[in-house]
Amino acid sequence: MIKKLHSIYSNEVPRFIIDLANTTELKRLEHVGQNCGQDYLNAEIFNPIFNYSRLDHSIGVALIIWNFTKDIRQSISGLFHDISTPTFAHVIDFLKKDYVNQEITEVDTIQVIRQSEEILKILNEYDILPEDVEDYKKYSIADNKAPKLSADRLEYTFYLSLTRGKIKIEEVEKIYKRIVICNNEEDEPEMVISEPCLAERLMKISIENGRFMSGKESKISGQMLADILELCCNKNILKEEDLYIYKEEEIVEKIRTSSEKEILSMWELYTKFDEVLESDDYVEGKYCIHLDVKRRYINPLVFVQEKLIRTIDISNRMKKILDDYLHDKSVKYIYVK
């Protein structure tokens, strides 16, 4: 599935992507799951059809950028955008209480690139300076202000919909082949969908993914895993920097083999809970939390009678779906038995 998805993104994999993907820093991302630790949950809560790593995602983003720009610097910036992501990825945002922005995973990108002899050597071979590729936000095809369409948002929308069984690979290809590059309202290059029905479909699946990522199961699992990691750090079982060194399975093994009963008890709860309940009041004696998190979605530009219009402005149906999503007020508390 991953090879097929990447082949849709680009009919070629440039040598520079292969070379950089084999550096120590990027190969580490093979062992950082894209699902932020949810792969260890009870299958009743999350049961992906296939596993997808941060490296898979990063290569996917780079291939999308390459396909539409043929620009080596932009493509490498996309490849590097998650290079400083720790084990369990966005769980670090829960650990640092960055629930809404969720950008802590990108903080050390510059440092990782500039301290890697392997990466610097390859960049030098292509006559590329580190400052040209260490901030993907400078390239609007790679990343732009939400909810515009970017390579990063498009890639994780496709992968997550596929792994959750919400879309077929044929539909991914159909949407992807209807994407072109045009200048948007702010005169910056942006990916545009050429058919309104496909733009609506992409927006709808992005909202469905957003509901999943901001849903009660994702919120409580993210916070619980963050609490487990914090306990491990407090008990000297882990150091925070270990999250940037060890493989995901190695961190899990440290948790599982801990002699601390509180940690073992929380890990058992994390891996075995099969239902998240709601309450207007705090529930004593249960793992119970309240928090608001980032709400992700895409509102792509679309061609309508040779004009560029945001999907939300041509579809009352999508207006209703988006409004329901953004104004869906969760109950005060969620908890597990």
CA-CA distance, 201 to 196, in Å (whole number)?
9
Whether residue 102 is predicted with pLDDT greater than 60 in this model: the reply is no
What's the pLDDT at 269? 97
**Region of poorest pLDDT, from 103-117, 119-133, 165-179, 237-251:** 103-117
298-318 average pLDDT score: 95
Q: Report whether 27 contacts 55 (CB < 8 A).
A: yes
Residues 6+ apart with CB under 8 A from 113: 25, 80, 83, 119, 120, 130, 133, 134
CB atoms within 10 A of CB 14: 16
Whether residue 103 is predicted with pLDDT greater than 70 in this model: the reply is no
Interior CA angle at 298 toward 175 and 80, to 5°?
85
Whether residue 96 is predicted with pLDDT greater than 80 in this model: the reply is no
What's the pLDDT at 101? 55
Whether residue 330 is predicted with pLDDT greater than 80 in this model: the reply is no
Q: How confident is the model at residue 294 (pLDDT cuts 50, 70, 90)?
A: confident
Whether residue 123 is predicted with pLDDT greater than 60 in this model: the reply is yes
What are 154's two structure tokens? 């498009």
Domain boundaries, the chain: 2-215+295-326
User: Strands 333-336 and 189-193, how do they pair?
Assistant: unpaired
Amino acid at 93: D
Residues 6+ apart with CB under 8 A from 156: 34, 57, 209
Q: Is the peptide bond before 147 cis (omega within 30 degrees of 0)?
A: yes
Q: Report whether 320 contacts 269 (CB < 8 A).
A: no
Whether residue 310 is predicted with pLDDT greater than 90 in this model: the reply is yes
CA-CA distance, 78 to 87, in Å (whole number)?
19
CA-CA distance, 220 to 28, in Å (whole number)?
27
CA-CA distance, 336 to 283, in Å (whole number)?
10
CA-CA distance, 110 to 70, in Å (whole number)?
23
Smallest CA-to-CA distance from 290 within 239, 229, 216 is with 216
CA-CA distance, 150 to 324, in Å (whole number)?
24
Q: Report whether 53 contacts 110 (CB < 8 A).
A: no
What's the pLDDT at 99? 55
What's the pLDDT at 104? 53
Whether residue 157 is predicted with pLDDT greater than 90 in this model: the reply is yes
What's the pLDDT at 105? 53
- The CATH architecture that domain 2-215+295-326 belongs to is Orthogonal Bundle (1.10)
Mean pLDDT of the chain: 93
CB atoms within 10 A of CB 180: 11
Q: How confident is the model at residue 94 (pLDDT cuts 50, 70, 90)?
A: confident
